[in-house]
A and B are shown apart, each in its own frame.
Chain A
Amino acid sequence: MLSIKNLHVKLEEEDKQILKGVDLEVEAGKVHAIMGPNGSGKSTLSYVLSGRDGYEVTEGSATLEGEDLLDMEPEERAAAGLFLAFQYPVEIPGVGNMTFLRTALNAQRKARGEEEISAGDFLKLIRAKAKDLKIDADMLKRPVNVGFSGGEKKRNEILQMAMLEPKMCILDETDSGLDVDAMKLVSDGVNALRDEGRGFLVITHYQRLLDHIKPDVVHIMADGRIVKTGGPELALEVEQNGYADILNEVA
């Protein structure tokens, strides 16, 4: 599904190398987790994959189902099936949440040569998905993320993911700022989307989220590289001993 090879990334504006050769293969139907200390480059990886400005790929490649991601505009990557749940979802005053989602959904459909969804069908769909995530009608009407609590923003990300039904979902610290109940809602939302044809890359700091979203593979990232890969037990090890042991071990 998602194939990252020897990815090197530096900042465009300054001479600072952030990713120093990332290799990662996420298969369809699998959940991969990336853990790692702050500043190790996890968000950078997610941004580079989704096409944010400000980064320069100096070496390596990233493909989605064989298609070169790095060559596409952000909207093309989305239409190709890539989705990033942002660590910090963006507030957009004046743009209604519903308008935003319908525009996005129809734009993706159009890009794939599919029919646009009718206003009625859209409404039915979003109401059903919003209900599962306990997102009320008022939140749907409000401007995108404006005045949302941290937890509401994260739920809104999952709602977008559920509506857009991407093939490859990247979640960047979706658990941060969530209380226990919200964590459960978000995890249920993600789990409901788990499917043979869909891949997940779950970036997190803590084991907590992985209790709910059970990963198949866990990677540890440090200083711009994947330094260790293992099964779910690796997350538990991090939880108990922190990163220090693992980092020492690979140093």
Chain B
Amino acid sequence: MAVAQAKQDLTETRIAALDMPGGAGWAAEARGAALSRLRAMGLPTRRDEYWKYTNPASLTQVDAPRAAVFHAGDEVPLYDGIDRLKIVFVDGVFDADASDDLSLEGVEIERLSDAMAKDIHWARDLFGVLETAGQTPVARPLAALNTAFATDGVVIRATGRVEKPISLVYLHRAETSDAILHHLVRVEEGADLTILENGPAAARFNKCMEISVADRAGFHHVRAQGRDHERRAATHMFARLGEESTYKSFTLTVNGVMTRNEHVIELTGDDAVAHVAGAAMGDGKTGDFHHDDTVFITHDAVNCESRQVFKKVLRNGAEGVFQGKILVKPDAQKTDGYQISQSLLLDEDSSFQAKPELEIYADDVSCSHGSTTGAIDETALFYLRSRGVPTEIATDLLVLAFLDEAIQEIEDARLADDIRLRLQQWLERRRKG
């Protein structure tokens, strides 16, 4: 289908403003193919069904809209007490000095540009491959743009049980920075890896992570997107899971004028497990807030389990979106699919749109989904207040309780507690004004 003229103009204008990084033959080929995909799809506009609830204009325009840098003051940084290997990016550029030494038992870590300069590299089988697969049945043009033009990233191959998490830290310093990062993660058979991410990254952030989880391997992911009020982000996690493998991902989002987080997961080996969770909290009083979780899970093997738990707390005109789909292919018998998306609206100015979808072609499956939008529990609120807890603190207690159902999805208790602490800090900061 021909791309409409306006869409084509938008796409070409954007492409013209970007430079394609060099690399080995295979890398250039993959970049070129991604560019062709992008041209064929065109960048998204409000008219696209998949962008019905989220206006992509600020994500597709040439220049990143300005975003002030958030100063956390003397707050304890996230994951501070956790032994981890830090890899730091400043406005989307790898910072070797600020990062730890990239050597760690059981894992190989390289900068994307280094990997792509090599004529022979395993990354060839992953770079753009899961992204391409994830373009059907729904187009994800911002991910194709990412593959074509990503300027930096890391390439990680875990071959054993990696003793500490790899922590990607994204610092934002320049008010108009525009970062495009692409990471590749391959977890080999029986290996286990935890990736942490945190920070706003840039005024505008386009990030893509392709993750291949081999048979009996485990991938764990905990992310906290930065609190800079005006930052924008479009992220994609593309994952393919082998037999008896595990994929668990959690994302915390507080603040952010525009966030679209996509998860595209294919369960291709029998008995694989994929859990995706997210907790988002937005307050329109401290800046516009729009948060979109878009999930597409494909069951293509027997006896797999997928679980989606997304919770949002919205106030003062904050907007939340959830689009979640479970696709069960004809052979994916004994699929166990679960999806819940809930929002707590603290006032009538805030809004939540949900589009849960099930598409099932196998007969022996158990799939359920639910979506709710609710107000604060007035009875609980009164009970707390009657014990002397002021309304604002009582509300915060109920907010934390509500979001905790998503946080509980984090397996590692220390990481879960760190995320809770971050939320408490945010709420306290908010109360103090």
Give A residues with C-beta under 8 Å from B.
Answer: 50-53, 73-75, 77-79, 83-84, 86, 89-95, 99-101, 103-105, 107-108, 111, 143-144, 160, 164
* Interface-central residue, B386, B387, B391, B393, by most chain A CB under 10 Å: B387
Q: Are B386 and A107 in contact (CB under 8 A)?
A: no
Residue of B nearest to A101 (CB): B387
Residues of B near A89 (CB, < 8 A) are 383
Nearest Cβ distance between residue B224 and chain A, in whole angstroms?
20
| Bound Cα distance A119, B389 (Å) | 17
Residues of B near A95 (CB, < 8 A) are 380, 384, 397-398, 400-401
Closest 9 CB pairs of A and B: A94-B401, A78-B388, A108-B388, A104-B387, A90-B383, A74-B385, A75-B385, A92-B380, A95-B401
Contact among A83, A107, A144 for B390, CB-based, below 8 A = A107
Residues of A near B384 (CB, < 8 A) are 92, 95, 100, 104
Residue of B nearest to A77 (CB): B386
Residues of A near B418 (CB, < 8 A) are none
Q: Are B388 and A111 in contact (CB under 8 A)?
A: yes
Residues of B near A107 (CB, < 8 A) are 388-390, 393
| Bound Cα distance A84, B386 (Å) | 7
Q: Are A78 and B385 in contact (CB under 8 A)?
A: yes
* Cβ of B404 under 8 Å from chain A: yes
With A86-B383, A104-B388, A107-B388 known, 9 other A-B pairs at CB within 8 A are: A74-B382, A78-B388, A79-B388, A90-B382, A92-B397, A94-B404, A103-B389, A107-B393, A164-B388
* Cβ of B405 under 8 Å from chain A: yes
Contact among B380, B387, B391, B398 for A78, CB-based, below 8 A = B387
Q: Are A75 and B389 in contact (CB under 8 A)?
A: yes
| Bound Cα distance A84, B387 (Å) | 8
Nearest Cβ distance between residue B346 and chain A, in whole angstroms?
16
Give B residues with C-beta under 8 Å from A.
Answer: 377-380, 382-391, 393-394, 397-398, 400-402, 404-405
Residues of A near B388 (CB, < 8 A) are 75, 78-79, 104-105, 107-108, 111, 164
- On whether A100 and B378 interact (CB within 8 A), knowing A73-B385, A75-B388, A79-B388, the answer reads no
| Bound Cα distance A143, B397 (Å) | 12
Q: Are B386 and A74 in contact (CB under 8 A)?
A: yes
Residues of A near B387 (CB, < 8 A) are 78, 83, 100-101, 104, 108, 160, 164
Residues of A near B389 (CB, < 8 A) are 75, 100, 103-104, 107
Residues of A near B391 (CB, < 8 A) are 73, 75
- On whether A53 and B386 interact (CB within 8 A), knowing A94-B404, A99-B397, the answer reads no
Jot down 6 A-B pairs with beta carbons below 8 A, ordered by A.
A90-B383, A92-B380, A95-B398, A95-B400, A107-B388, A160-B387
Contact among A79, A94, A101, A144 for B402, CB-based, below 8 A = A94
Residues of B near A111 (CB, < 8 A) are 388, 390
Residue of A nearest to B385 (CB): A74
